[in-house]
Each structure stands twice: as C-alpha cells, then as structure tokens.
Amino acid sequence: MRYLSRRTRTQAVSGIHRNSRKCAAKGFDSSGLVGFVALIVVALAIAVISSSVVLSIANAMKCTDEHDYAVIEVTVMPGDTLWGIARDYSGLEVDLRVVVDDIMRENNLANSIVHPGQVLKLAVPVAYLSQ
C-alpha cells in the first residue's frame, strides 16, 4: 500500500471537490437527470395503463351479443355430458367454458353433471338453428 503524505491526501481530496464543483457549474447536476428519467418512466406507465384500459373496453364492446338468440329445450340422453351438449349447440368461435358456465347458471346447476331425461334450457343463436 502506498503511503501518501498528509499534504498530498489533502490536495487530492480538494482536487476532487473542485472538479465536482466544475461539473455542477457546467450543468451536470445528477439530480436533474434522475428527475427527468423518473418523469419519463411515469409518463410511460400512464400511457401503458391508459392503452390497456382502452383496449379492454374495445374488446368488451366487440364481445357484445351480435346474434339474436332463441331459447330451446334439450333433453339429456344417456351418454350426454354438459360439455358435449355445449359443443353441439355452440359455434366454433365460442369458448366452451363460457357456454358451460352460462348453461349451468341458466338451469341452476351446482356442477356440470347431467342425468338422462333432464331438460336443459339453452340460448342458441338463431343463425345456428337454421343450419
């Protein structure tokens, strides 16, 4: 380890302090840069949150009922399942989980188990009935 005289150490420290004052005088204030970066981060966060809200609203509006529905009654046959009935009476673009949930809610079912002879009410798109 190199030993510096007391005078040399003092000169070195004062030189560093003098250089930092020069940087501050030239406009290199680090607190201003931190504030600017923080402002940019907050602005980007607001933009991302706003765009996600707008997209979710647009998606919800797109998912509204575009079809007229007719309520039909379906009698459960031996071997039928609620998932199979939902698949048979819904289109390909529909999420079966949503259809099964709708059928369970409309028929007051506690679970997806159905029994032969049970009558279920289903909301089916009118366009699907004419096919």
- For the record, the structure tokens of 128 come out as 């699907």
Strand partners of residue 73 = 121
What is the DSSP secondary structure assignment for residue 91, as one 8-state letter?
Answer: -
Residue 108: the pLDDT is 92
- For the record, the structure tokens of 112 come out as 């997806």
Farthest-apart Cα atoms in the chain, separation: 102
Angle at 67 (CA atoms; ends 66, 73), nearest 5 degrees:
145
Residue 115: the pLDDT is 93
Residue 21: the pLDDT is 54
Residue 64: the pLDDT is 52
- Cα 58 to chain center, whole Å? 13
- Residue labelled with tokens 């981060």: 41
Stretches in the chain below the pLDDT threshold 50:
none
Burial of 86 (0-12, 13-18, 19+ CB in 10 A): buried
CATH of 69-129, one of 3.40.50.460, 1.20.1280.290, 3.20.20.70, 3.10.350.10: 3.10.350.10
Residue 69: the pLDDT is 79
Alpha helices in 63-130 (DSSP H): 82-88, 96-106, 126-129
- Residue labelled with tokens 């399942």: 81
Residue 6: the pLDDT is 59
Please report, as a single letter, which amino acid is at residue 11: Q
